[in-house]
Every structure is written in C-alpha cells, then in structure tokens.
Amino acid sequence: MMMPTIPGDGVRLRSLRPADLDDLVTGYNDPDMRRFMAMLPVPFTRAHAEEYANDLTPTLFAAGGGYYAVADAVSDRILGGIGMDRVQPGRGQAELGYWTGPWARGRGVATAAVRALSEHAFHTGFARLELLTHRENTPSQRVALAAGFRPEGVRRAALPGHDGERDDVLAYARLAADPPGPVDRLLPDLPGGELTDGVVTLRPLAESDVEFYAELHAQEDVVATSVPPIPPTPDEMRRRCAWAQSHWLAGDRADLVIADTATGTPTGEIGLYYQEPRTGQAMIGYSMLPGWRGRGYPTRAAQLVSLWAFAETGIARLIAGALPENVGSQRVLEKAGFKREAYLRSRLPGVEGRRNDDVQFALLAEDLLTEGPRLDG
C-alpha cells in the first residue's frame, strides 16, 4: 500500500526514505526527546531506524494509522516525524504522536504537522483524535493547543517511564467538529516573557528554580501562611517548579518569581490562581525571603500582576486573604489597591486540626482605572 503525501503549512508528510535515516537516528537520540520517550531503544541505532522504515511504518498504515516523515516543503529534508496509531475503527478514534529534530525546533513544524494530519484523518472518516503528553513536556502541550486540541484531564500512570516507573500524562483531544485552533487560553504568556516596573521583575517559575523554592518554603512563617500549613516535601517542591508552566498553559494558575531587577536575584514568589473563570474571579498569594522584606517588593509584584490580569485576561475581580495577625500582608494588599471586604471565621486549615480566620480583600479593574497603580512601594 502506498502512503499518501499530505501537504501542510511549510511542511509535507510523506513516507520515510533511506536518506532520512541518519536524521532519524540523530533525532531519536536527542536527550530532550528521550526524556519523554522511555520506550525507545538505548541507543537508537541505524538498524532501529531501518526497522521503523521497513516494518513499523507499513504495519501502522495497514492498521488504519501511519507514521510519516515531516519534511521541509522546499528542501524535502526531514524535520521530524508524526504518527497515528491505537486506531479504533468502531469509535472513529486514534491517537497522534510527534517529534521535531533539534535542527528544526522553534519554526512551528510540529504544529503544522499535527494540523495537516488531523485534517487528513477527519476527511477520511475519523471523529476524534487524542494526544497524550507528559506534564513537564510543555512544548508538546503548546503544540496541542495551537493545533486545536483541548485539554481533557490527567491519565494516571498511563505510560511506562524511566527506571521501571509509570508516568501520568495529560490528555488532549480534538473532534471533527472542533475548529482547527488555536485553543483560547485563559492565561496568556507574559508580554516579552516578564513583567517589570524597573525595581522588581516577575518571571514564570521554572524547573531550575527548585533550590530557591526550597529555601523560601523552608521559612517557618511562609509555611504558617500556606494552605495547608504543612512544609512541602522535596518531591512536591520539584513538581511545583517542573509543572508550573503546564498549569499556566492549562489556565488554572500562574506562578511567578519576584526578582530584584538590578541583580536578577530571586527574592520571593507571587501566584495567581484562576479559581472561577465563569465569574471572572481569581486569587493572588505571595511570600518573600526574610532578607528582602521591607522593600515594598510584594506590593509592586501585586500591582504588576493585577495590571496584567485585568488587561490581558478575562479576570474582572482579584481576591486575596491574610491571617488576622498578619498585619504586614494586609498592609501590602492595601498599598496595592485592594480593599478589605470580609472577615471569614475558621475559613482556613491550621496546625493540629485547628482552623484559622481569614481577612479577605478584593481589587476590581475599575479600582485601578479610578486610582491608578501606586508603584511607590
């Protein structure tokens, strides 16, 4: 059987050829790719590449799926690959997987390939396509969203991982009736990748921030104001940093590092939690390392986050809370423009089964329009 050639935006999907095999070997031995493909042979050799071309590809195609080289539309050099397998004809359903070689990343290759193969699959009778991606594989998640695949949840221990473990994966799906994308995001990327007022700079929390995050969350007063007030384990701290970008893409939270602009030193954190998209309400929370307190940094951070949220998202109302005895945090919120609205008794879990009261503050978009940002710290 002859595999069809499928045109895409700047790419074409075609069968693997002998001239592709050296690039296939290079791509499948790339460390960034191997991190999320534990089932690949180690190392991936020329013999494995020949097996893909001669055996795997025809087998997948005969089962109703396929494995395609993603080639440059002009030079015809292979840029990556895309496959469709786990075909369920009775359900009109299949699963897509893709990769891009390190020599071709950052050009939208995978997005173009996923769109092209998806449209081809729907045209030939499929009703539903799925994508599975590791939570830490945010480039893959960006591809899924850009190609019109919507997040549907977490599949626990769905794929074999390294060292005999099994990994959770995020499930995305696109239906034949869905638009081709991109999927609207509740929390867009920061303009230019950061927010700054010249004194503090906010940037997304990253996997490399785990040492800073551990230092911050080792502070007793930071733990005491956390919900629940329990020190995170090392694994929880690693996941919080490694999964931060995934949560941002999903639209449920934006975790940011508060850095000193002059030195770039991480000084604290601020998070935006989009708890109620339907009502347009989100919550912020923040904490600082002891050596950087008293400089007005959390006030500046709260103002920057508020301005971004009201300008770039559907958030219309921001809330924040503080323990009654945490006068410093209440002052931060007041200086950032938040207004005290309520005193909620026993709202928060405390230590040893006790409950804590919570003083609630809120900020509306019109508050900033009326008073303007106050960036004097």
> How much is the pLDDT for 225?
86
**pLDDT per position as a tens digit, 254-297:** 999 999 999 999 999 999 999 999 999 999 999 999 999 999 99
**pLDDT per position as a tens digit, 226-257:** 888 899 999 999 999 999 999 999 999 999 99
> How much is the pLDDT for 377?
45
Q: Look-up: residue for tokens 């629940």? A: 228
Walk me through the domains of the chain, giving residue ranges and CATH numbers: 6-175 (3.40.630.30), 191-371 (3.40.630.30)
Contact between 357 and 326 under an 8 Å Cβ cutoff? The reply is no
Which ranges of the chain have pLDDT less than 70? 1-2, 371-377
Cα separation of the two ends of the chain:
69
- Neighbouring C-beta atoms of residue 153, cutoff 10 Å: 9
> How much is the pLDDT for 344?
96
> How much is the pLDDT for 293?
95
> How much is the pLDDT for 78?
97
> How much is the pLDDT for 226?
87
> How much is the pLDDT for 296?
95
> Which residues 6+ apart lie within 8 Å of 269 measured at CB?
205, 213, 216, 255, 256, 257, 258, 286, 287
Distance CA 317, CA 284 (A): 11
